[in-house]
């Protein structure tokens, strides 16, 4: 508890609200984010695994004319439970790391950066370096990056460096990439149509004879698997087309021989196809995506199995639910052999005499299939209706039918869930409002049925209070216990700073962001979240 209090005081002392700070002819900006948990023993969940954890981030950036520079410091005091790869990499005890430092110069037609940077080619299927603090991921590349528009309608990117791995360390590989995009429609003088052609090349180089490359008998595990070259190449071709209300995108990615996943016993080449389309007419909008994956998991290094060990970005093509029970068992992509599709449909009706009286309809369907074993891996068909009766009352009602295969389609085991949600907000006056959620889940999953409720009271512009409970009231196979996962808390917002303190019991499961997931064990404790920027 002392550490939690000290963390709160420290965060409050440096939380700054306001605009950029003038400094030496330029301006300084910054941000702070902290997630601290004081863990408690729980007779239901068992003894706590650790007394305290805290993931903290401070970022500063300085701008002066054409020059800019920045840095980010990460503190793990120690890392929160569930971030095992970070803890195993050296953050079992309190640890501070300078995770980013860079300097950049912007010219009239180019920009050059030295240090740590993030980059993405196309959708990320060939390459993406990014940070996701919720997942404890930071794959920033440390090296040189150059972006330019040497001629009209042509944009190029080039980089080379070593990627960060599991936040605290760097991978033992070197990565380089080149990306180009040409606006063909502008070059042809088309006024109402946009057509762009793009392409990328990515190379990962890593020695196959480092420590850890031999098995028990002294044989090289990579050579035995058929991987003989230290270089893996990825090629990407893309196109984008926009005309009036129609938008189309397509991407093809090819990969040379590689060990896509840590447990692969045989090296393979890989490929991916991605198609996207959207169309709108009047009050109706539709968006669709389809994707084919074959051995497309690509690691930053062959010598590590942590969550952040990913050269490319392959999120799930599913709706990212925000309601508790709808997000209880999210889909995890099978990069080895998956074909998936998703479609969204939107329609709205608004009263011409009263703009605060409207209906919004949304339907979504996502589907994923393991084509190697010809088994369904995921399906979600959901509908939600948003109804604004007047300026004081608003409601959202959702139904979702989910089918999931916990073995990613390698068996034909299927669990089916039906989720119902009612979410109603009442605006009492200009400052006060109350929101309530009721949720129910019917399932043949081994955990059976769930129910959940939440009540949230908002006192604008600063205060918010909430209490919630998620109850597993029917276990139908292995377990007989019925567990309450409760939470109560409050948040305070002032300017660009936000503080939230909560207490509760949290269920073990997958925490997902953008379709990428990390497993978090169950725990009970106090949770302090702080964010601020200037």
H/E stretch holding 85 reads helix 84-86
Top-confidence residue, 46 or 433? 433
Q: Residue 13: what pLDDT?
A: 46
Render pLDDT for 342-377 as a digit per residue (tens, 0 to 9): 999 999 998 777 777 889 999 999 999 999 999 999
Q: Which of 472, 468, 441 is nearest to 453 (CA)?
A: 468
Position 404 pLDDT exceeds 80? yes
Distance CA 265, CA 271 (A): 19
Peptide bond between residue 461 and the one before it cis (omega within 30 degrees of 0): yes
113-133 confidence digits (pLDDT tens): 999 999 999 999 999 999 988
Poorest-pLDDT segment among 15-24, 28-37, 241-250, 317-326 = 15-24
**pLDDT score, position 308:** 82
pLDDT in tens, 484-494: 999 999 999 99
Q: Is the pLDDT of residue 474 over 80?
A: no
248 has a pLDDT exceeding 90? yes
| Phi, psi angle pair for 335, to nearest 5° | -70, -15
| Residue 403 Cα distances to 294, 379, 445, 452, angstroms | 23, 5, 10, 20
Q: Which of 76-85, 204-213, 425-434 has the lowest mean pLDDT?
A: 76-85
Name the pLDDT band for 483 (thresholds 50, 70, 90). Answer: confident
Q: Residue 72 and residue 68: Cα distance in Å, rounded?
A: 14
Q: Which of 87-96, 129-138, 229-238, 520-529 has the lowest mean pLDDT?
A: 87-96
Report whether pLDDT(106) > 60.
Answer: yes
CB atoms within 10 A of CB 354: 12
pLDDT at res. 20:
66
pLDDT, one tens digit per residue, over 11-21 is 444 444 445 68
Structure tokens at 196: 């762009």
Q: Is the dihedral of CA 372, 335, 295, 196 positive or negative?
A: positive
Q: Average the pLDDT over 160-176 and give the result.
A: 91
Question: What does DSSP assign to residue 162?
Answer: E
Query: Residue 241's pLDDT is what?
Result: 97
Element of type H or E holding 84: helix 84-86
């Amino acid at each position: 508890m002392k550490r939690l209090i000290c963390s709160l005081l420290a965060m409050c002392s440096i939380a700054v609200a306001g605009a950029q700070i003038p400094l030496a002819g330029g301006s300084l900006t910054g941000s702070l984010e902290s997630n601290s948990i004081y863990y408690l023993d729980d007779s239901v969940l068992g003894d706590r695994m650790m007394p305290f954890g805290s993931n903290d981030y401070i970022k500063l950036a300085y701008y002066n004319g054409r020059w800019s520079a920045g840095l980010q410091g990460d503190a793990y005091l120690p890392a929160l439970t569930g971030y095992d790869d970070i803890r195993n990499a050296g953050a079992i005890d309190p640890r501070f790391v300078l995770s980013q430092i860079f300097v950049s110069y912007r010219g009239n037609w180019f920009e050059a950066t030295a240090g740590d940077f993030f980059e993405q080619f196309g959708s990320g299927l060939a390459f993406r370096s990014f940070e996701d603090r919720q997942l404890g991921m930071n794959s920033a590349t440390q090296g040189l990056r150059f972006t330019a528009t040497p001629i009209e309608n042509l944009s190029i990117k080039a980089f080379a460096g070593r990627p960060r791995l599991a936040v605290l360390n760097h991978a033992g590989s070197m990565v380089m990439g080149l990306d180009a995009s040409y606006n063909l429609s502008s070059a042809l003088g088309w006024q109402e149509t946009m057509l762009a052609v793009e392409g990328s090349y990515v190379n990962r180089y890593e020695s196959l004879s480092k420590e850890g490359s031999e098995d028990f008998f002294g044989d090289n595990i990579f050579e035995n698997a058929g991987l003989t070259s230290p270089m893996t190449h990825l090629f990407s071709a893309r196109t984008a087309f926009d005309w009036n209300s129609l938008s189309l995108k397509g991407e093809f990615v090819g990969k040379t021989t590689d060990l896509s996943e840590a447990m692969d016993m045989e090296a393979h080449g890989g490929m991916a196809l991605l198609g996207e389309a959207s169309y709108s007419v009047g009050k109706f909008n539709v968006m669709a995506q389809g994707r084919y994956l074959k051995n497309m998991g690509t690691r930053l290094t062959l010598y590590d199995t942590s969550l952040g060990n990913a050269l490319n970005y392959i999120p799930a093509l599913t709706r990212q639910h925000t309601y508790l029970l709808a997000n209880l068992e999210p889909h995890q992509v099978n990069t080895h052999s998956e074909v998936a599709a998703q479609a969204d449909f939107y329609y709205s009706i608004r009263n011409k005499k009263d703009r605060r009286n409207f209906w919004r309809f949304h339907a979504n369907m996502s589907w994923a299939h393991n084509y190697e074993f010809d088994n369904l891996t995921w399906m979600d068909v959901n509908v939600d209706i948003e109804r604004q009766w007047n300026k004081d009352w608003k409601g959202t009602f959702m139904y979702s039918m989910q089918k999931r295969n916990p073995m990613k389609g390698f068996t034909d085991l299927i669990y089916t869930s039906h989720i119902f949600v009612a979410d109603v907000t009442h605006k009492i006056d200009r400052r006060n409002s109350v929101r309530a959620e009721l949720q129910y889940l019917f399932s043949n999953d081994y955990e059976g049925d769930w129910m959940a409720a939440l009540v949230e009271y908002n006192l604008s512009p600063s205060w918010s209070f909430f209490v919630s409970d998620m109850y597993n009231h029917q276990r139908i196979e292995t377990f007989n216990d019925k567990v309450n996962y409760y939470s109560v808390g409050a948040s305070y917002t002032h300017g660009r700073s936000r503080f939230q303190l909560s207490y509760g019991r949290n269920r073990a499961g997958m925490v997902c962001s953008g379709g990428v997931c990390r497993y978090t064990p169950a725990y009970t404790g106090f949770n302090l979240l702080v964010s601020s920027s200037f």
